[in-house]
């Protein structure tokens, strides 16, 4: 970005423009047209977030969660994530799901974890779809439902989530809650293996060994 563009954005940010404050926060965070400075990034994101800018609220939540440019504060992370999540921000909803699932900065609550994962997953956020599928599978925070579990895990697998690809492959291999299909099993496990999943690579070796013995 040209220096003049940076100066124009900075001027607008100093005049209170929330979008400019957000963009300036990104620039300081990424070191784009200015030296990377997480403290300045945090300051501009917060100015924007406190005006109700949803992506900035999500960023501030993440910076509080990770201690980037500010002292780590999980209570503030949750507060800002909720501000964004309540306005439909899918990744903030997912992050809240993780925090409620793990009891990270908040009392563990699988029902709330499920609720936030579903809000996020139903917007197409892939990691949330995978976690949602696993919660349906194990009956965490919701009654077990293997049809819904497979549906959500497969959605994530088809969008490239490596853990979901492996799980779908295994479910097809054993015919667990879905018709057994060895062709699909190998295809999905291969997808995971091609992304470097060690367990998937080992399973493929075992399957090849079984095939050579006529056990496959």
Yes or no: say if 81 and 90 are a contact pair by the CB < 8 Å rule: no
Tell me what pLDDT residue 210 has. 80
Mean predicted lDDT score pLDDT of the chain: 95
Q: Which of left, alpha, beta for 88 (phi over 0: left; psi -120 to 50: alpha)?
A: left
88 Cβ neighbours under 8 A, 6+ residues apart = 54, 119, 123
Tell me what pLDDT residue 90 has. 98
Handedness of CA 95, 100, 104, 107 (dihedral sign): positive
Checking if the pLDDT of 91 tops 70, the result is yes
Tell me what pLDDT residue 209 has. 85
Tell me what pLDDT residue 214 has. 66
Checking if the pLDDT of 5 tops 90, the result is no
Checking if the pLDDT of 82 tops 60, the result is yes
How do residues 139-169 score in pLDDT, each as one tens digit? 999 999 999 999 999 999 999 999 999 999 9
Q: Quote the CA–CA distance of 112 and 91 in Å, as a whole number.
A: 15
How do residues 202-213 score in pLDDT, each as one tens digit? 999 998 888 777
Checking if the pLDDT of 134 tops 90, the result is yes
Token match 């300051």: residue? 43
Yes or no: say if 57 and 89 are a contact pair by the CB < 8 Å rule: yes
Tell me what pLDDT residue 59 has. 97
Higher-confidence position of 213 and 172: 172
Tell me what pLDDT residue 4 has. 73
Q: Quote the CA–CA distance of 92 and 122 in Å, as a whole number.
A: 14
Yes or no: say if 158 and 172 are a contact pair by the CB < 8 Å rule: no
Tell me what pLDDT residue 212 has. 75
Tell me what pLDDT residue 186 has. 95
The pTM (predicted TM-score) of the whole model is 0.91
């Amino acid at each position: 970005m040209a220096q003049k563009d940076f100066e124009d954005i900075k001027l607008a940010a100093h005049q209170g423009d929330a979008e400019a404050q957000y963009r300036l926060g990104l620039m300081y965070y990424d070191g784009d047209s200015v030296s990377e400075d997480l403290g300045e990034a945090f300051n501009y994101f917060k100015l924007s977030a406190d005006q109700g800018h949803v992506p900035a609220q999500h960023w501030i939540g993440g910076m509080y969660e990770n201690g980037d440019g500010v002292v780590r504060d999980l209570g503030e992370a949750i507060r800002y994530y909720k501000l964004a999540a309540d306005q439909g921000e899918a990744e903030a909803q997912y992050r809240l799901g993780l925090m409620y699932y793990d009891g990270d900065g908040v009392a563990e609550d699988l029902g709330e974890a499920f609720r936030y994962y579903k809000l996020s997953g139903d917007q197409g956020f892939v990691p949330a779809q995978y976690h949602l599928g696993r919660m349906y599978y194990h009956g965490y925070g919701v009654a077990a439902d293997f049809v819904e579990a497979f549906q959500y895990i497969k959605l994530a697998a088809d969008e490239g989530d490596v853990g979901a690809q492996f799980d779908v492959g295994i479910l097809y291999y054993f015919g667990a809650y879905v018709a057994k299909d060895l062709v699909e099993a190998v295809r999905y496990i291969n997808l995971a293996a091609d992304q470097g999943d060690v367990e998937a690579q080992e399973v493929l070796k075992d399957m090849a060994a079984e095939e050579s013995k006529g056990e496959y």
